[in-house]
Amino acid sequence: MIHSILKKIKQTAFFFPIFLACSCALKSIPSEYTFIKSGFEKVELDKLGNGKILIYNGAGISHKIDNTARLNIWIDDKKLGQLRANEYVIIDQKKGTYKFKVQHLDVVNMRSMHEVEIDEKTKVIQIKPNVTSNKLLITNDLPKNFDKFKYAEKR
């Protein structure tokens, strides 16, 4: 009797963390943007700028492990879609100021708003989740391990 109770406790202790990790998956939003892929078989900084902007998810290992790295992104209330860890998109964006709304799920919804000035020199934007919110940074440089990144598929 005691052995069967201990077995059930062990099973619960084993499966509960797995359940929690899987429950942090953020539902994908469909993109309203046209992604630019042709002409970018090999992404180079020289081909970016003048409205062509690479946006990537720079999530760290801690967010990748527990499945909280997925980011839903809106630009001026227009859905960009979802970027998973180590994914990127290239979009064509006119010069101007834009409001980026970013959301990731980590037990609760973590939302943030970022005002971004896009000009002819803007090439690369990094967005990543952090413990309490999301971080957006115009880097204009590709990440060090960019060869491990893949182009995001429309979902």
pLDDT of residue 85: 93
pLDDT of residue 77: 93
Under-50 pLDDT residues of the chain: none
pLDDT of residue 70: 93
Torsion of CA 7, 9, 11, 13, to 10 degrees: -150
* Token pair for 3: 């052995």
> Residue 95 and residue 148: Cα distance in Å, rounded?
30
Name the residue among 125, 43, 55, 128 with its Cα closest to residue 85: 128
Structural domain of 18: 2-151
| pTM across the whole model | 0.81
pLDDT of residue 34: 82
pLDDT of residue 42: 85
Non-local (6+) Cβ contacts of 11 within 8 A are none
Question: How many structural domains comprise the chain?
Answer: 1
pLDDT of residue 67: 79
pLDDT per residue as tens digits for the range 94-136: 999 999 999 998 888 899 999 999 999 999 999 999 988 999 9
pLDDT of residue 6: 61
